[in-house]
């Protein structure tokens, strides 16, 4: 499985060198929960892109939804009006609480499952539509992950990811501060190649994020601190990071190291 091996090798290349990681004052594995929450609120109010209409059409008649890597519910809660039950799977307890709060406000039946996919797949019943947004680049062992998504869908699987690996947005800063060249892949094209190796021919839609791109950090200081941590830089260098971000034209609306604005939606029937 050449595409599968290529996917795994490219993700493994993103490992931070030990000599840099060992000197980090703060963990670079930042989970800025506010990014997920703010994005969910924007998309619940007004969905955008190709993923929502694909899932919406598949929920006619209304049915159940499984959201893998749900975060605060940006992928599934916009579908509440046609959902009889939304099951959210995520590793983060705090984000599942954010999902529950929003689901209750929308009056939709919901269930949360804390854990890693596909590790908890056996504890999750099938759903009519399975959605999984901006998770795939965190999955080196991608075949069991995708296979479990497909096995849990009755009508449709909807996977959304950035066109390019989201951490590539930090590559120039890694070169500037550490003098190292970071990887460029994998890409959404590589994800399609993996699916084809599995005998799945997905429908591919390319689009550009607009409204939800402006829902990242509350202010520039937060963007600076999140970026500094991702670069394994000490707190004393936050002013240098801020300067580099300003030179690059960065604003708090964009989360460097999260998801790019050029998005791909992959859909397939089980």
Beta carbons of 112 and 85 less than 8 angstroms apart: no
Q: Which residues, including other chains, have CB under 8 Å from residue 225's CB and lie 6 or more apart?
A: 238
Residue pair 213/254 in contact by the 8 Å Cβ criterion: yes
Residue 218: the pLDDT is 76
DSSP 259: -
Q: What is the pLDDT along the chain (270 residues), one digit of tens a residue?
A: 699 999 999 999 999 999 999 999 998 987 678 888 889 999 999 999 999 999 999 999 999 999 999 999 999 999 999 999 999 999 999 999 999 999 999 999 999 999 999 999 999 999 999 999 999 999 999 999 999 999 999 999 999 999 999 899 899 999 999 999 999 999 999 999 999 999 999 999 999 987 665 557 778 888 899 899 999 999 999 999 999 999 888 776 566 655 568 999 999 999
Closest CA relative to residue 184, chosen from 194, 174, 193? 174
Interatomic CA distance for residues 203 and 160, integer angstroms = 12
Cα-flanking dihedrals φ and ψ of residue 76, to 5°? -105, -35
pLDDT of residue 110: 98
Q: What's the whole-model pTM score? A: 0.93
pLDDT at 260: 64
Report the 10 Å Cβ neighbour count for 94: 13
Q: Return the pLDDT at 220.
A: 87
User: Whole-angstrom Cα distance, residue 149 to residue 139?
Assistant: 13
pLDDT for the residue 219: 84
Instruction: Give pLDDT, residue 252.
Output: 62
Name the nearest CA neighbour of 183 among 13, 1, 5.
Answer: 13
Backbone angles phi, psi at 51, to 5 degrees: -70, -45
Cis before 25? omega within 30: no
Q: Residue 1: what pLDDT?
A: 67
- Residue pair 117/89 in contact (Cβ under 8 Å)? The answer is yes
Domain boundaries, the chain: 2-268
CATH 3.40.50.150 matches 2-268: yes
Q: Are 186 and 6 in contact (CB under 8 A)?
A: yes
Which H or E element spans position 94?
helix 93-106
């Amino acid at each position: 499985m050449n595409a599968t091996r290529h996917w795994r090798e490219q993700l493994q290349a993103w490992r931070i060198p030990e000599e840099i990681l060992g000197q980090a004052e703060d963990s670079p594995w930042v989970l800025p929960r506010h990014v997920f929450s703010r994005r969910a609120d924007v998309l619940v109010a007004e969905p955008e892109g190709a993923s929502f209409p694909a899932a919406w059409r598949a929920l006619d008649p209304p049915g159940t939804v499984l959201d893998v890597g749900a975060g605060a519910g940006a992928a599934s809660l916009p579908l509440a009006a046609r959902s009889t039950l939304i099951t959210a799977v995520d590793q983060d307890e705090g984000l599942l609480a954010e999902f529950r709060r929003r689901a209750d406000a929308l009056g939709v039946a919901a269930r949360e499952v804390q854990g890693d996919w596909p590790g908890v797949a056996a504890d999750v019943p099938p759903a009519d539509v399975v959605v999984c947004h901006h998770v795939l680049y965190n999955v080196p062992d991608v075949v069991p992950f995708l296979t479990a998504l497909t096995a849990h869908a009755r009508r449709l699987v909807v996977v959304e990811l950035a066109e390019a690996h989201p951490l590539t947005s930090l590559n120039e800063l890694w070169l500037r501060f550490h003098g190292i060249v970071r990887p460029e892949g994998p890409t959404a094209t590589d994800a399609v190649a993996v699916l084809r190796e599995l005998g799945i021919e997905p429908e591919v839609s390319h689009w550009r994020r607009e409204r939800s791109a402006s829902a990242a950090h509350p202010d520039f200081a937060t963007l600076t601190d999140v970026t500094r941590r991702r670069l394994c830089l000490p707190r004393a260098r936050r002013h240098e990071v801020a300067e580099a971000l300003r030179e690059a034209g960065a604003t708090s609306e964009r989360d460097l190291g999260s998801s790019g604005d050029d998005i791909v939606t992959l859909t397939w029937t089980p």
